[in-house]
Amino acid sequence: MYAEIIIPLALPKNYTWAIPTELPDGVMIGMRVEVMLGSNKRYAGIIKKILTEKPAGFNPKPILGILDDAPIVYPAQLQLWEWMAAYYMCTEGEVMQAAVPSHLKISSESVFILNEEVAIDGQSLSDTEYIISEALQIKKQLSLVEIQKLLDKKSVYPIINKLIQKGICSVEETMHDKYTIKVENLLHLHPDYHTEAALEQLMNDWTRAPKQLALLLAFLHLQKTEGQVQQKALLEKSGAAHAQLKALIDKGILVVEKRKIDRLAVDLSLGNTNLHQLSAAQQLAYDSMLEQMKTHSVNLLHGITGSGKTQIYAALIEHAIQSNQQALYMLPEIALTAQMIRRLKQYFGGKIAIYHSKFNPNERVEIWNKVKSGEIKIVLGARSALFLPYHNLSLIIIDEEHDASYKQQDPAPRYQARDTAIYYANQLGAKVVLGSATPSIETYYNAMQNKFGYYHLKERFSEGALPQIQIVDTKKQSEQSAILTPQLLDAIQSTVAKNKQVILFQNKRGYAPYMICETCGWIPHCKQCDVSLTLHKGKNLLSCHYCGAAYPVVHTCEACGKQSFKQKSFGTEQIEEKLALALPHLRIARMDLDNIKGKNEHDHLIQQFERREIDVLVGTQMVVKGLDFEHVDLVGIVDADSLLNFNQYRVNERAFQMMEQVSGRSGRKNDQGKVIVQLSQTNHPVIDFVKEHDYPAFYAFEIKNRKHFAYPPFSRLMSILFKHKENHIAEEAANHFLKSLDPMIQKTVMGPAQPIINRIRNKYIWELCVKITKQPQQLAIAKKQLLHFIQLISVHPRYKSVQIIIDIDPN
Ligand code: ADP
Ligand code: ZN
Ligand code: ZN
């Protein structure tokens, strides 16, 4: 017997290994096995197919061992991976790399880290496991080779796998993301004192150390009331010092037990809240969605900001899980805030789990297993949650379906999670609900064609109107006062005076996006990228927003030697500073990548804002996504021109979405809110639609453009990037590639051209853009040709070092 196995690498195809007869019975599709690749690399791969025939032409090497007792993925997932690899033109190994949590991947490159908090119970370990756990305790981490040496054998994956399962070690793929299993200390009375008599005796004989006695009494009290005693709770309640506790333990009166905390255990007080009663309008939307789901597998819930889409999703989820099915609720990563999680946990308690990339691998594996068994009914997650092993998924909700972050940029698979979810739902026979206040043009088009079910919810829950939009023309201002115009400053002041809050939006971070020599016009650029450097005043440095490189602030022009730099344009940091100068009594905070590190800080700032400890929040798109603030009455879009000046076919769509979404944060409860849009292109057509909050009119305008220029949804785009450290090699390779294509495909290609940013990390970039009709046939032909020529180029003497990146349906 033979097996086709997926290895988490970008291999051109899956390879086949032999299943040795001496392996235990029951090798199944979806199980992990240890295999050797090349002469010394070992990987845990997943069995995709079991074959009875020996592959022609070579002798497969044997599988070295089986890691699992049962499959870790379902066949449906393997089918999804295969489709993704074919559609997005990557390998199944790359899909596996993205789909499977790191703990389930082991390779020669893995490092195994001791989980320090876990008490190791030597009794439960085999001899070999014991040797490794001893070594881990001394060295804290071991590589695969070290483990092989210690045990003097090559095949060590099964042992490592057991140690991971027992929580003794973790797999680390990169050196940054350290994580640990959470444990708590529980305290017990030593068995010697389990009888009343023995305990009484102990206390009667107590002579010194009254504080220890008090602590013991506190322990007994807690034990009686709580059933079990956590060390932390005991110390808090009794006010005793750690030394006193230690004394009781040393005397053998109390015993410590380290216990792994189930990270998914949620507060039991949650989950009892009933769903809110839907308003009449929401009920209509809900009924209509359910009705349309009978005939459409994909359905668009188009509800204006503040219409209460979350309530409707929750009701739909409730409906799905009543028949014991699973539901997936997908959100853009950044919108997975504590606020959203709190809201949903209130309704669904322990039935819901959260899954996103900031979680550590231990938690991810726990969720993985509980989703697989069906114990978890609802998953709330970002795009990677699509890859969990659902037991019986019947509903996928994709909130903010228009959001660009559903598309993974780098690395491969460069997949669009919304589209992939639609494919997967079809495969599983599940239903999809897409939700947005500003649907993507493609989605809305599909709804208008009746390919998708559709419902338009046009009123806000609070019965408040959508905010009123005021345009402020910055052409009439000096460069300096255009940042915060007198109109905006006035409005901020009067809003705060009414005890309301303000959000100021600017999609650039830093202080000034570039500096320019006033004498000769020279602009400091990144040494590795074709990008001007952004001044960060607080950190006192210049930074490249493409590669992250930092440089000291330049004072002398490298071209003319003069010292007369001017700062141009402005980012969030400058807005914050200018506002603090203009209105010093306000409490101002900034939310962008520079001062928000990680999920916790993000949530913390949101909570501060919710508690009204901040008057004005200045931020990038982080402040926009899905947040619901009760007291925001004014939103300022500080520089709307910057949203309109992109050379990209989606520019109007993105600008409309961004402005409408930002506006949607204003006046969500009670009063009508207000939005001030500062810009110079006051007669830009998109602005009129934003002013009226008129999505259908915007769509009618935009779909004409798309049709005229044959852009999606009237065509499909594929972008092919050629990257090389020599500009002319990248350009030649692109031309060579183009000329090799079938003339019929050639006609559909734009380029080669240099993208606006034509050098990143020292590599020059040339791009071909293929625009093909939506006939599946043409797509298949084009893909086949592309693959063929990529193969040819990869062995071409002149171009083989050119990196080629294919992006299907690019953003
Ligand atoms: P959307 O996602 O459509 O912009 P939300 O779901 O955030 O809107 O709802 C807006 C606000 O209205 C939230 O604060 C929400 O709690 C409240 N809300 C919506 N529907 C209801 C309801 N049926 N009962 C009580 N509150 C509701
Ligand atoms: Zn100069
Ligand atoms: Zn750079």
Ligand 1 pocket at CB < 6 A:
276-279, 282, 303, 305-311, 461, 628, 668
Q: Mind listing the pLDDT tens digit for each residue in 325-383?
A: 999 999 988 777 777 887 888 888 878 888 877 677 777 888 999 999 999 999 999 99
CA of 563 to the centre of ligand 2 (A): 8
Say how many Å lie between the CA of residue 312 and the centre of ligand 1. 9
Q: What is the pLDDT of residue 264?
A: 45
- Which tops the pLDDT comparison, 687 or 125? 687
Ligand 1: which of 282, 300, 339, 461 to mutate, judged by most atoms within 8 Å of the beta carbon? 461
Q: Whose CA is nearest to atom 23 of ligand 1?
A: 278
Closest atom of ligand 1 to 343 CA is 16
**Side-chain-side CA neighbours of residue 103 (13 Å):** 28
* Closest ligand 1 atom, residue 276 Cα: 24
Ligand sitting nearest the alpha carbon of 556? 2
Task: Tell me how far apart the alpha carbons of residues 126 and 573 are, in angstroms, rounded to a whole number.
Answer: 58
Q: How far is the CA of 403 from the centre of ligand 1 (A)?
A: 20
Place of tokens 């926009």: 624
**Tens of pLDDT along 451-509?**
999 999 998 887 777 899 999 999 988 888 889 999 999 999 999 999 999 999 999 99
Contact 546, 506 (CB under 8 A): no
Token duo for residue 459 = 């009123």
> Mean pLDDT, to the nearest integer, of 39-61?
87
Question: Can you give the pLDDT at residue 182?
Answer: 59
> For residue 404, what pLDDT band results from cuts at 50, 70 and 90?
very high
At 266 the pLDDT is 40
- Ligand 1, from 274, 310, 399: best to mutate by most atoms within 8 Å of Cβ? 310
The answer to whether residue 201 scores a pLDDT higher than 50 is: yes
With contact defined as beta carbons under 8 Å apart, do 398 and 432 qualify?
yes
Length in residues, the chain: 811
Quick one: what percent of the chain has pLDDT higher than 70? 95
- Give the residue whose CA is nearest to atom 15 of ligand 1: 308
Residue 556 alpha carbon to ligand 2 centre in Å: 8
Query: Which tokens is 548 given?
Result: 């992250």
**Which stretch, 34-48, 236-250, 712-726, has highest mean pLDDT?**
712-726
**Ligand 2 centroid from CA 642, angstroms:** 26
Calpha distance 136→63 (Å, rounded): 27
Phi, psi torsion values for 22, nearest 5 degrees:
-75, -10
Ligand 1 atom closest to Cα of residue 303: 3
User: What is the per-residue pLDDT across 5-19, written as a single tens digit (0 to 9) for each?
Assistant: 999 888 888 999 999
Residue with the smallest CA separation from ligand 1 atom 14 is 628
Look at 40 and 306; give whichever has higher pLDDT.
306
> Picking from 91-105, 261-275, 496-510, which range would have the lowest pLDDT averaged per residue?
261-275
Helix 776-795 vs helix 727-740: crossing angle, to nearest 10: 130
Least confident of 74-88, 329-343, 411-425, 647-661: 329-343
Distance 801 CA to ligand 3 centre (A): 21
**Enclosing H/E stretch for 22:** none
Q: How confident is the model at residue 263 (pLDDT cuts 50, 70, 90)?
A: very low
For residue 240, is pLDDT > 50?
yes
* Confidence grade of residue 260 (pLDDT, cut at 50, 70, 90): low
Across 668-696, average pLDDT:
90
Ligand 1 pocket mutation, candidates 284, 311, 631, 632, criterion most atoms within 8 A of CB: 311
Residue 48: closest CA among 88, 3, 85: 3
Per-chain mean pLDDT for the chain: 88
Q: Which two tokens stand for residue 615?
A: 């008057």
pTM: 0.82
pLDDT at 27: 87
Give the ligand 1 atom nearest the CA of 278: 23
**What is the pLDDT at residue 486?**
95
Percentage with pLDDT > 90 across the chain: 53
Q: Of the ligands numbered here, which is closest to the C-alpha atom of 564?
A: 2
Atom of ligand 1 lying closest to residue 457 CA: 3
- Looking at residue 261, its pLDDT comes to 57
**d(C-alpha 453, C-alpha 446), whole Å:** 9
Taking CA atoms only, the protein residue closest to ligand 1 atom 6 is: 308
71 touches 29 (CB < 8 A)? yes
Return the pLDDT at 22: 78
